[in-house]
């Protein structure tokens, strides 16, 4: 058997690393400036943590999307399929409710879901996640949305937008679920198998179905948004007022329902046109009640997550120039054996400041320069017996061909001067 990566997983190849890091750095700046602190829960938890939080009707459960296994001690463990449950479990375990409110926590790292693999839908993928815990007010919802929009903008995206909806309060959800049962019950045989299960456990979730047949049955039916109670409606209007005041672009989308059972009131998604059927970059909402369900104090929360791969895909669609990738400042070429030892010593010194590469064997000048070119370096430096006699290296600016003889001890200062003038480009 030819060994290869498991279906739905990807190697993150060297060429992709710089862009990924850049995006994460930009996101980190936005979130940390807003007072969010990083938290990294473990990759796996007792299955209970996720079972309790996502709810029995969640797709993750209904469609058996969680990677659950028994360890050697007979414990049921699950690879994290989302961040919220683990982050809130940690919040409770470490008594973070005593911190000044609100507590803002952000996370990034791989998640695992046994999904049907397609473009933008993988079995291992990465999310950026934010939770704002402790505030029941619309201000927290609005800030979460603003931060999601700002984080995506900081990634370099231009054509993303927010869709905003509300799933109402628990009473509103209950009456909506009754309405759906009434409407879909007689036709439930026409629903997909997963949606029949959803209709039984939590009808609202049928709205989330990816099946065209299910969606056809739903056409013309009311959405939760059409049946909001007064309190949920007032909360929604207040979120909108903040977003308007802060000029965060959004559109009201009555069709938005969030995948997990625990959402209340505000639900939102970030979308990007042109990354195929999976246009959602991320989503989030308010989850009052979840912390209690996990055994913690009765604290409200609002949070979101977006998928890193989808953001990277969208950035590629926008033709965003690959960021300042790691190009060497200097490529050193030894022309004889003695020079190999010399240039490696200089490389190690210069690496305190610059990215420096070199050939590992003596080269003739033509081949050495071609190699330097291929590395993407700004400058190449040649060292052979002639240069040794003169106490220099021959430095060549590869883009212009301009040359200079530089003393080895002056190489650092030379690069400082030249690269400050923008010749690295």
Residues that bind ligand AMP (CB under 6 A): 82, 113, 115, 120-122, 125, 127, 259, 280-283, 305-307, 309-310
Please report how close the Cβ of residue 368 comes to ligand AMP at its closest, in angstroms. Answer: 44
Which residue's CB is nearer to ligand AMP, number 280 or number 419?
A: 280
Which residue's CB is nearer to ligand AMP, number 125 or number 262?
A: 125
Which residue's CB is nearer to ligand AMP, number 48 or number 65?
A: 65
Which residue's CB is nearer to ligand AMP, number 115 or number 371?
A: 115
Q: Is 325 exposed, middle or buried (0-12, 13-18, 19+ CB in 10 A)?
A: middle
Which residue's CB is nearer to ligand AMP, number 202 or number 394?
A: 202
CB 422 within 8 A of CB 416: no
CA distances from 401 to 62, 357, 367 (A): 64, 19, 15
Return the residue nearest ligand AMP (CB atom).
307
- Which H or E run contains 289? none
CB 284 within 8 A of CB 144: yes
Backbone φ, ψ for residue 73 (5° rounding): -90, 10
DSSP string, 331-364: EEEESSHHHHHHHHHHHHHHTTTS-EEE-SS---
Place of tokens 């883009």: 399
Please report how close the Cβ of residue 264 comes to ligand AMP at its closest, in angstroms. Answer: 16
Please report how close the Cβ of residue 130 comes to ligand AMP at its closest, in angstroms. Answer: 12
Instruction: Please choose, from the candidates 234, 184, 178, the residue with its C-alpha nearest in 3D space to the C-alpha of residue 209.
Output: 184
Contacts of 274 (CB under 8 A, 6+ apart): 159, 314, 317
Please report how close the Cβ of residue 106 comes to ligand AMP at its closest, in angstroms. Answer: 14
Q: Is cis: bond before 102, omega within 30 of 0?
A: yes
Please report how close the Cβ of residue 82 comes to ligand AMP at its closest, in angstroms. Answer: 5
CB 123 within 8 A of CB 112: yes
- Written as six digits, the tokens of 147 are 């931060």
Which residue's CB is nearer to ligand AMP, number 311 or number 393?
A: 311
Please report how close the Cβ of residue 7 comes to ligand AMP at its closest, in angstroms. Answer: 12
Which residue's CB is nearer to ligand AMP, number 267 or number 393?
A: 267
What is the C-alpha separation between 53 and 60, in angstroms, rounded?
A: 11
Please report how close the Cβ of residue 339 comes to ligand AMP at its closest, in angstroms. Answer: 49
Which residue's CB is nearer to ligand AMP, number 242 or number 306?
A: 306
CB 89 within 8 A of CB 49: yes
């Amino acid at each position: 058997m030819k060994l290869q990566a498991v279906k739905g997983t990807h190697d993150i190849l060297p060429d992709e690393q710089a862009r990924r890091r850049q995006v994460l750095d930009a996101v980190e700046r936005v979130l940390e400036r807003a007072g969010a602190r990083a938290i990294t829960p473990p990759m796996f938890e007792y299955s209970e943590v996720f079972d309790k939080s996502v709810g029995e009707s969640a797709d993750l459960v209904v469609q058996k999307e969680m990677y659950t296994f028994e360890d050697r001690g007979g414990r049921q463990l699950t690879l994290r399929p989302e961040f919220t449950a683990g982050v809130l479990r940690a919040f409770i375990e470490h008594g973070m409710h005593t911190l000044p409110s609100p507590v803002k926590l952000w996370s990034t790292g791989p998640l695992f879901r046994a999904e049907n693999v397609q473009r933008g839908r993988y079995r291992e993928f990465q999310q950026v996640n934010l939770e704002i815990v402790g505030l029941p007010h619309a201000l927290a919802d609005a800030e979460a949305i603003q931060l999601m929009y700002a984080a995506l903008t900081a990634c370099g995206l231009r054509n993303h937008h927010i869709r905003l909806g509300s799933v109402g309060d628990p009473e509103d959800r209950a009456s909506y679920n009754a309405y759906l049962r009434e409407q879909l019950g007689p036709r439930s045989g026409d629903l997909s198998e997963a949606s029949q299960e959803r209709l039984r456990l939590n009808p609202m979730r049928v709205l989330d179905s990816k099946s065209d047949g299910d969606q056809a049955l739903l056409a013309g039916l009311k959405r939760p948004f059409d049946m909001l109670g007064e309190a949920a409606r007032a909360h929604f209007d207040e979120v909108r007022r903040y977003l308007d005041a802060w000029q965060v672009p959004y559109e009201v989308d009555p069709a938005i329902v969030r995948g997990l059972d625990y959402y209340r009131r505000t639900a939102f998604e970030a979308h990007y046109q042109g990354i195929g059927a999976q246009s959602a970059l991320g989503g989030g909402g308010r989850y009052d009640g979840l912390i209690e369900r996990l055994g913690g104090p009765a604290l409200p929360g609002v949070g979101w997550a977006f998928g890193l791969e989808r953001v990277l895909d969208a950035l590629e669609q926008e033709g965003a120039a690959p960021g300042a990738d790691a190009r060497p400042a200097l490529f050193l070429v030894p022309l004889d054996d003695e020079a190999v030892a010399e240039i490696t010593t200089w490389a190690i010194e210069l690496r305190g400041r610059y990215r420096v590469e070199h050939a590992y064997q003596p080269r003739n000048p033509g081949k050495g320069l071609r190699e330097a070119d291929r590395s993407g370096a700004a400058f190449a430096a040649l060292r052979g017996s002639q240069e040794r006699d003169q106490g220099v290296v021959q430095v060549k600016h590869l883009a212009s061909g301009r040359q200079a003889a530089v003393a080895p001890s002056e190489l650092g200062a030379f690069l400082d001067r030249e690269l400050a003038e923008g010749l690295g480009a």
